[in-house]
Amino acid sequence: MVDLATHIGPLRFKNPVTVASGTFGVKDEYARFVDYRKLGAVIAKTITLYPRQGNPMPRICETPAGMLNAIGLQNKGLADFVTNKIPYFQKHRIPLIVNIAGESTAEFALLARELDRHRKAITALELNLSCPNIEAGGVQAIREQKLISKTIRAVRKETPLFLFAKLSPELGDVLETAREAVRAGADGLSLINTIRGMAISIYSRRPRLAAGTGGLSGPAIRPIALRYVYEVKQALPRVPVIASGGITTGEDGVEFLIAGADLLAVGTANFVNPRASLDILEGIERYCQEQKIRSLKALRGNLVPHRRS
């Protein structure tokens, strides 16, 4: 028996496997493939204060070992989420991490205030400070660390809920941003969001995405995500990190645990294999059994340096 339980401050997860926001729907979309109660938690697709129509088509395109997306945070808004989605997770006792995005600091605060009223049904909040696909409030607007800190402080005032700040790898000095986020009141970090990329159809000479550019995800970005998780955990070992970026197999999950990740968010792999999250969980368990690792504590952050010759 392998003990996969993962403790983060006051939070108890039965295992470290969760799903990345936007890749698992907002309610029970994958319930016919996955028993949600077997996952450490579910991170729902980003909720905004008001419904969003999202971007024009085409919104996605495949690229080597991954995909670009410019969905544009299409969602039905906070009121629908509270009324129609939260009760599902509560009823089935599924640990729910709610990902929110505001177009302004005030909107972030309002979202947090409203969700705080449903605190009992919510395990944590994840602040989407890094969506590349919206004009206001996305990567472009939140380039400045000051704005990130301001947003986190505003949310912190509204709720005692555990806060993960989801940071972009494009924020310049990620270590400095991570430190700032923690100073401003974030309890944990989520690393990484997609990285902006582009593809062009050479015959029409049009960008493959109507939005021009989009967020790159999938195995193509995994080494980059791993490096960020590793560096941030080296610098801030006590700050919990949700790792995401191309995690597709159990081996990938183990790699991120060794780098120090606390939780593992399976993202684009869900689109290819709806059972990916459970397959990854089983893969981690199998690895631990084979390696005679009884508890993830023995694995997490336990990177072995090369011997100097």
Partner 1 sequence: MYDETVAVLDNRKVNAEYYKISFRSKQLSRDVQPGQFVQIKIKKGFDPFLRRPFSYYRIKDERVEILYEILGLGTSLLADLRRGDTIQVMGPLGREFSRPLGEKKRILVGGGVGVPPLVFLAQRYGCYRFFIGTKSRREVLPSSEIHKFHAQVFYSTEDGSYGKKGLVTRLLEELLDKEKGDPEDYFIQTCGPNRMMERVMEIAHHHGILGEASWDERMACGVGVCLGCMVMTHQGWTPSCTEGPVFRFDEMRVVYG
Give the residue numbers marked as catalytic.
Answer: 131
> Which residues ranging from 42 to 101 are in contact with partner 1 (CB under 8 A)?
53-54, 57-62, 64-67, 69, 71, 74
Is there binding between residue 268 and partner 1 (CB under 8 A)? yes
Rounding to the nearest 10 degrees, give the CA dihedral for residues 128, 133, 137, 142.
Answer: 80
Give the number of residues in contact with partner 1, rule: CB under 8 A: 33
**Structural Rg of the chain based on CA atoms:** 18
In angstroms, the CA 129 to CA 138 distance is 7
Is there binding between residue 270 and partner 1 (CB under 8 A)? yes
* Residue 198 backbone dihedrals phi, psi, to 5 degrees: -155, 150
Residues 236-255, mask of contacts with partner 1 (x by CB under 8 A): ------------x-------
Which residues are bridge partners to 98 per DSSP? 125
The single-letter code of the amino acid at 127 is: L
Is there binding between residue 274 and partner 1 (CB under 8 A)? yes
Which of 3, 4, 14, 25 is close enough to bind partner 1 by CB under 8 A?
25
Is there binding between residue 224 and partner 1 (CB under 8 A)? no
| Shortest Å distance, C-beta 262 to partner 1 | 25
Alpha carbon separation from 21 to 44, 192, 234 (Å, rounded)? 5, 11, 25
Which of 104, 219, 258, 285 is close enough to bind partner 1 by CB under 8 A?
219
Q: Among the residues of the chain, which ranges form H helices?
A: 78-80, 86-91, 105-116, 145-158, 174-183, 222-235, 250-258, 269-272, 276-290
Which of 1, 10, 32, 91 is close enough to bind partner 1 by CB under 8 A?
32
Residue (48 or 105) nearer to partner 1, CB: 48
In angstroms, the CA 9 to CA 240 distance is 8
The helix (H) or strand (E) run that includes residue 100 is strand 96-100
| Shortest Å distance, C-beta 120 to partner 1 | 27
> Which residues ranging from 173 to 212 are in contact with partner 1 (CB under 8 A)?
none
Which residues sit at the interface with partner 1, rule CB under 8 A? Answer: 22-25, 29-30, 32-33, 53-54, 57-62, 64-67, 69, 71, 74, 218-219, 248, 268, 270-275
